[in-house]
Every structure is written in C-alpha cells, then in structure tokens.
Structure 1
Amino acid sequence: MNDVIIIGGSFAGLAAALQLGRARRKVTVLDTNRQRNRFAGHSHGVLGHDHKPPQDILVEARQQLARYPTITLVNARAESVSGTIDNFCVVTDDNENLRARRLILSYGVVDQMPDIPGFAESWGTSIIPCPYCDGFEVADQHWGLVWSGPQSHNQVRLFHDWTDRLTVFGNGHDIALDIRADLAARRVPLVDGRITEIVRHGSHGATIKLDTAPDVVVDILFAHPRNKPSASLHEALGLATVDTPLGIAIKVDDRRETSTPGIYAAGDLANPAMASVTTAISHGAIAGISAQQSMLV
C-alpha cells in the first residue's frame, strides 16, 4: 500500500513527490512524459533554473528524487481510479493495480489548437501564451494578440510593461464599442477579420494572414486557446470543477484538496488563474505537504 499515488509527473507532481519523499512516505508517481510545455525551447522565471529547457529541468528533478528510497517513478498511464480515503485503487495501462491512502492528481491539461493552418506548428515558438514566461526575451518588439474574450482587454494593459508596439487581431469576435474606443485611445491597432493562416519565420516571427485584411507581420504572437484536462479521471471520481474563460479546472481549497476527501490536485489541472512552472511547483509542494499531514495520527 502506497501512502500516496501521484498521477502526473511533471513539475507539480514531482514537487509533491519531493515533499512526501523527504517525509519518508511511500509514493508512486505515474507519468507519460508529455508535459504541457514540451514545445517550449526554454523555461523562464524559475528560480535557479531560468532559461533552461523544461525537459532538462525535469530530467534533473527525477535524478534528484532517486536519492529518496520511498519514491518510485513509473512510466505508465492511469486508466481508472476508484475507492475512498485510505483505500484508493489505481489501474494502469499495463493492468497493474496500485493502492494508496491518498491521491494527488497532476496530469495537467492539453491545449486545443484552433483549426488555423500553421497555428499548431508555431505553438511554443512563434505563438506563446505567457508574457511572464517569455516576454523579456521579445521585449520592445512588435507583439500580436489574438483576441479570445473579455480577458484579452486586460492583457492589452498587461503587455505594456514589455512593449509599446502591439496589434490586436479580432479573429471574428464581436468586440464592444467601448473596448474598441479604449484600444484606439491606447494607440493599439485592432485588425478585424478571421485569421486564415499563420506563417512562421525566424525564431519567433510570424506573418498573420487574414480573410478581409492585408497580411500583418509580427515579431511574436500571443494567443490563449482553450484547454481541457489531459485525462478524465476527475470526472469518474465526481470531483467538483470550475469554469474558466479557457476551460475546466478542478476545484480545490487552499490546501489543494478537492471536493473528495483524500484527493488533492495541483498544476495546470487545478490552477484557473495563471499557469506557469513556478506556480505548478508551488502548488505541487503544498499538495504533497497537505496529503502527508492529513495522514498524521
């Protein structure tokens, strides 16, 4: 019997495992090695690891976890989960049955690429979502922003800390007149029409092709496609979720516990506010500590 099974071994899952391993709790981490930021060349804003490829950070983290004898890392996918607190059962894709007193879900989300030629191929290089993660490297250049909803208006203000050259692409959205007036007052061009293709060039640049307007060349394009959990285990467990502008997130309390006692969630799967490596590590550590403390007698 494990103390904890962690489903998802990227930044949040490994951070949880580290705390539990240091508390000498028996932990099994299941992972499929398909972390969300695998498309990015470098990870930024991670203290002590700034500007390192994300895969390199994970490789080093797994090597460090090897010194803890109670942590087992398994390359497998969790196919089903059942049970209740102190007696959970996880069945893997190779039909192995694992039991644990607690569960931590950290299997992340997958971004749903829009049906625009060139979008998926440019994701993580010419198209990025987070200015905190990559904005410094492209500061003072010409940025583009694909409008995705009301939250995009705040991003216009946010981006001002990095650049004064921004073009907003409406991409078929019905943008309110007061927002259009505000963009005009900020001298931020708004290009109406739908994006028909994105042509990547150079390390970051892209040409945005539109159905009703001339092509626009930008140095970097910011976009926020919808995402969804990378597995449906939370649905089978009946966990409460919250709707966000970009997708579904598992509802957790301050200790990262879900609506079902004994099950915790961390990382992008349970973070509707701002996804980043730093927050994933932080929330993973909290989940691990909370799970450990919940088993004290």
Structure 2
Amino acid sequence: MNDVIIIGGSFAGIAAALQLGRARRKVTVLDTGLPRNRFAGHSHGLLGHDHKPPLEILAEARQQLTRYPTIRLVNARADSVSGAIDHYSVLTGDGESLGARRLILSYGVVDQMPDIPGFAESWGTSIVPCPYCDGFEVAGQHWGLVWSGPQSHNYVRLYHDWTDTLTVFADGHDIPPDIQADLARRHIPVVDGRIIEITHLGGHNAIVKLDNGPNVALDILFAHPRNKPSASLHESLGLATVDTPVGVVLKVDERRETSMPGIYAAGDLATPFLPSVTLASSQGAMAGIFAQQSMLV
C-alpha cells in the first residue's frame, strides 16, 4: 500500500514526490512522459533553472529523486481510480493495480489547437501563451495577439510591460466598441478577418496570413486556445470543477485538496490563470506536504 499515488510526473508531480520522499512516505508516480511544455525550447522564470530546456530540467529532477528509496517512478498511464480516503485503488494501463491512502492529481491539460494550417507546428516557438515564460526574449519587438474573448483586453494591458508594438487579430470576434476605443487610444491596430495560415520563420518569428488582407509579419504571436484536462479521472471521481475562459480546471481549497477528501490537485490541471513551471512546482510541493500532514496520527 502506497501512502500517496501521484498521477502525472511533470513539474507539479515531481515536486510533490520530492516532499513526500523526504518525509519517508511511500510514493508511486505514474507518468506518460508528455508534459505540456515539451514543445518549448527553453523554460523561463524557474529559480536556478532559467533558460534551460524543460525536458532537461525534468530529467535532472527525476534523477535526483532516485536518492529517495520510498519513491517509485513508473512510466504508465492511470486508466481508472476508485475507492475512498485511505483506500484508493488505481489501475494502470499496464494492468497493475495499486493502492494508496491519498492521491495527487497532476496530469495537466492539453491545448486544443485550432484548425489553422501551421498553428500546431508553430506552438511553443512562434506562437506562445505566456509573456512571463517568453516575453523577455522578445521584449521591445513586434508582438501579435489573437483575440479570444473579453480576457484578451487584460492581456493587452499586461503586454505593455514588454513591448509598445502590438497588433491585435480579431479572428472573427466582435470586439465591443468601448474596448475598440481603448485599443485605439493605446495606438494598437486591430486587424479584421480570420487567420487562415501561420508560417513559422524560425526562432519566434511568424507570418500571419488572413482571408481578407495582406500578410502580417511578427516577431512573436500570443494566443490562448482552449485546453482540456489530459485525462478524465476527475470526471469518474465526480470532482468539482471551475470553468475558466480557456477551459475547465479542478476546484481546490487552500491546501490543494479537491472536493473529495484525500485527493489533491496541482499544476495546470488546477490553475485557472497563466501556466507557469514555478507555480506548478510550488503547488506540487504544497500538495505533497498537505497530503503528508493529513496522514499524521
């Protein structure tokens, strides 16, 4: 019987495992090896690991876990979860049945790419979602933003800390008149029409092709496609969720516990705002610590 099974072994899951392993708790981490940021060449903003490839950081972190004898890393998918607090059961894709007193869900989300030629191929290089992750490297250059809804107005104000040259692509959205007036006041051009293709030019550079006008060359393009959890275990468990402008995340309390006692969540799966390896690592550590403390006698 494990003390904790962690489903998802990227930044949040590994951080949780580290805390639990140091507390000498028996832990199994199940991971499929497909972290959300695997498309990015570098990860930024993580203390001590700034500007390193994310897969390299994760590989080093997993190697460091080998010094803790109570941690087991398993390359497998969790197919189903059942039970209740102190008696959870997880069935893996390899047919192994595992028991645990607590669960930590950190299997992340997957981005749902729009049906635009070149978009998926440019994701993580010339098309990115997070200025905290990539903004410094292209500061002062020409940015683009694909409008996705009212929340995009906040992104316009946020990006001003990095650049004064921004082009907004309406991409079929009707931007309210008051927001259009604010964009005009900020001298931010709005390009009408739908995006029909993205051409990646190397580095962060891209060309946006439209259905009703000339192409627009950019130094980087920011976009926020909808995402969804990378697994459906939370649905089978009936866990409470929260709707956000870009997708669904799990509802957690200040201790990272979900609506079901003994199940915790961390990382993008339970983060209703900008994705970040720093936040994921912090949340994972919190989930591990609070899961451990919940088992004290």
Q: TM-score range by the shorter chain?
A: over 0.9
Q: Which runs of 5+ in 1 are unaligned?
A: none
Verify: 1:149 aligned to 2:142, yes or no: no
RMSD: 0.4
Give a deviation string over 1:237-285, Cα, whole Å, max 9, x none: 0000000000000000010000000000000000012210000000000
In the TM superposition, what is the alpha-carbon distance from 1:214 to its structure 2 partner?
A: 1.2
Written as runs of structure 1 = structure 2, the 5 A alignment for 1:1-297 is 1-297=1-297
| TM-score using structure 2 length | 1.00
What secondary structure is seen at the aligned counterpart in 1 of 2:224? coil
Query: What do residues 47-100 of structure 1 show as CA deviations (whole Å, max 9, x unaligned)?
Result: 000000000000000011000000000000000000000000000001100000
Aligned residue type for 1:110: V
AA at the equivalent of 2:86 = D
Give the SS at the match of 2:249.
strand
TM-score by length of 1: 1.00
- Could you tell me how far apart the structure 2 residues matched to 1:108 and 1:254 are? 19
Map Cα deviations across residues 128-161 of structure 1 (whole Å, 9 max, x no partner). 0000000000001100000011010011010011
AA in 2 matched with 1:60: E
**1:263, 1:188 → 2: CA distance?**
45
Partner SS state of residue 38, structure 1 = helix
Q: 1:233: how far off?
A: 0.1
Distance (Å, rounded) in 1 between the aligned partners of 2:202 and 2:113: 21
Q: Determine helix, strand or coil for the equivalent of 2:225.
A: coil
Distance 2:196 2:219 in 1: 18
Residue 212 of structure 1: CA displacement? 1.3
Q: Distance in 2 between matches of 1:208 and 1:2?
A: 51
Following the alignment from structure 2 to structure 1, what is the Cα–Cα distance between the partners of residues 48 and 260?
35
Unaligned runs of 5+ in 2: none
- State how far apart, in whole Å, the 2-side matches of 1:221 and 1:274 are: 16
Counterpart amino acid of residue 178 in structure 1: D
Give the deviation of 1:122 after TM superposition. Answer: 0.2
Question: Aligned equivalents of 1:203 and 1:47: distance in 2?
Answer: 24
Give the letter aligned to residue 109 of structure 1.
V
Shift of 1:213: 1.7
Per-residue deviation at 1:202? Answer: 2.4
CA deviations on 1:8-66 (whole Å, 9 max, x unpaired) are 00000000000000000000000000000000000000000000000000000001100
d(CA) in 1 for partners of 2:213 and 2:234? 43
In structure 2, the residue corresponding to 1:201 is in which secondary structure? strand
4+ residue segments displaced more than 3 Å: none
TM superposition shift of 1:204: 1.1
Tell me the number of residue pairs that the alignment of Structure 1 and Structure 2 aligns: 297
